[in-house]
Amino acid sequence: MPSIQLDRILQSQGFGTRKYCRQLIEDGEVAVNGVVVDDYHTAVETQGLVLSLFDAKWTYREHVYIAMNKPAGHECSRKPSHHPPIIDLLPDPMRLRDVQSVGRLDHDTTGLILLSDDGAFIHTQSSPKRHIPKLYVATTFEPVTDDLLMALRSGVKLVDEAEPLAATHCRKLDEHRIEIALEQGKYHQVKRMLVAAGNHCTALCRVAIGELRLEALGLAEGEWMFLEAEHLALLRPSSAGA
């Protein structure tokens, strides 16, 4: 990776305006790989760079890829209507990096949501052409029946869709819970499919995207983590869409 002037590096990582970043450096608030640097003109190699600022360490990342276990009562929009945005659960530098969610979960839906400041990644992961399955656990109002599972597997007709929509995978977990996988990502799809199949959803949690599983990440509700290369490799399309 190339060497970049230190104030530009801080700005790219979401620490503030160029002017503010220069002031931080001149005040001796910034250390590069453990060594304080007070000249903002200093060119620094970004490969393996670790910055220390306000007693916290930050690893340089050209782009950030984040997994969050979204709690209920938060909206994925940066301009929410009725509930706080999930961006409030991230540290301030993520806001200045313009981190956005990859797709959305309803305010009352919990579970795995991805966020990034990489526009190409967001577009690719959001594209229906990728056929990346999303796995959910849905709690139902009425007991789960064989007829319900059969309807979800074979496809149900929604009022604003030309063709029936079917789950790629669906199984009963207990009397009031099912595990259901979808590829289409339509608006309120799980909830609307359950209604069309003669039941309705009382709680919904997304537990996996591709082969990236929330359980394996070990995130409690409201917690988040940076995704590394090995995690990103799990965000695979299904064999049908590959």
Q: Which amino acid is at 52?
A: S
Secondary structure (H, E, C), 123-171? HHHHCHHHCCCEEEEEEECCCCCHHHHHHHHHCECCCCCCCCECCCEEE
Q: Which amino acid is at 43?
A: A
Tokens of 66: 């984040």
Report whether 47 contacts 53 (CB < 8 A). no
- Give helix 146-154 / helix 189-196 axis angle, nearest 10°: 120
Inter-CA distances, 172 with 137, 145, 196, 197, Å:
10, 8, 18, 15
Q: Which entry of 55, 98, 106, 146 is annotated as an active-site residue? A: 106
Active site residue 108: no
136: Cα within 13 Å, side-chain hemisphere: 27
Hey, which residues are catalytic here? 106
